[in-house]
Chain A
Amino acid sequence: MNKVVTMAEALSRIKNGQSVMIGGFLTVGTPQGLVDAIVDSEIGELTLIVNDTAFADRGVGKLIACDKVKKVITSHIGTNKITGKKMHAGEIEVELVPQGSLAEKIRSEGAGLGGFLTPTGVGTAVEENKQVMEFDGKKYILERPMGADIALIKAHKADTSGNLVYRRAARNFNPLMAMAADLVIVEADEIVEAGELDPDEVMTPCVFVDLIVRKESPNESA
Chain B
Amino acid sequence: MNPRERIARRVARIFKDGDVVNLGIGLPTSVANYVPDEVHIVLHSENGFTRVGPAPEPGQEDPDIVDAGGMPVTILPGGCCFDSATSFAIIRGGHLAATVLGALEVDQEGNLANWMIPGKLVPGMGGAMDLVAGARKVIIAMEHVTKNGDPKIVEKCDLPLTGARKVNLIVTELGFMEVTPDGILLRELAPGVTVEEIQSKTGATLILPDQIGVMTA
Residues of chain A touching chain B, judged by Cβ–Cβ distance below 8 Å, are 25-29, 51-52, 74-79, 84, 87, 94, 96, 98-101, 103-104, 106-107, 118-126, 166-176, 203
Contact = CB atoms under 8 A, between A and B. Distances in A.
Interface string B105-144: 0000001000000000011111111100110000000000
A142 B81 CA distance: 28
A26 to B, nearest CB: 4
Task: Give the interface centre of A28, A51, A98 by most chain B CB atoms within 10 Å.
Answer: A98
Nearest to A55: B70
B193 to A, nearest CB: 32
Contacts, number: 138
Given A77-B124, A124-B129, A174 B88 contact: no
How big is chain B's contact interface, by range?
A: 35 or more
- The secondary-structure label for the interface of chain A is mixed
B81 A99 contact: no
Contacts of A118: 92, 133
Interface of B: 45-49, 62-66, 68, 70, 75, 81-85, 87-88, 91-92, 111, 122-130, 133-134, 160-165
A203 B85 CA distance: 13
B62 A76 contact: no
B130 A99 contact: yes
A170 B128 CA distance: 20
Nearest to A179: B85
B122 A124 contact: no
Contacts of B129: 98, 100-101, 120-121, 124, 126
Contacts of A96: 122, 124-125
A204 to B, nearest CB: 9
Given A100-B91, A169-B81, A175-B83, A84 B122 contact: yes
Given A51-B84, A100-B88, A25 B47 contact: yes
B66 A120 contact: no
Contacts of B122: 77, 84, 87, 94, 96
Contact of B47 (A28, A101, A122): A28
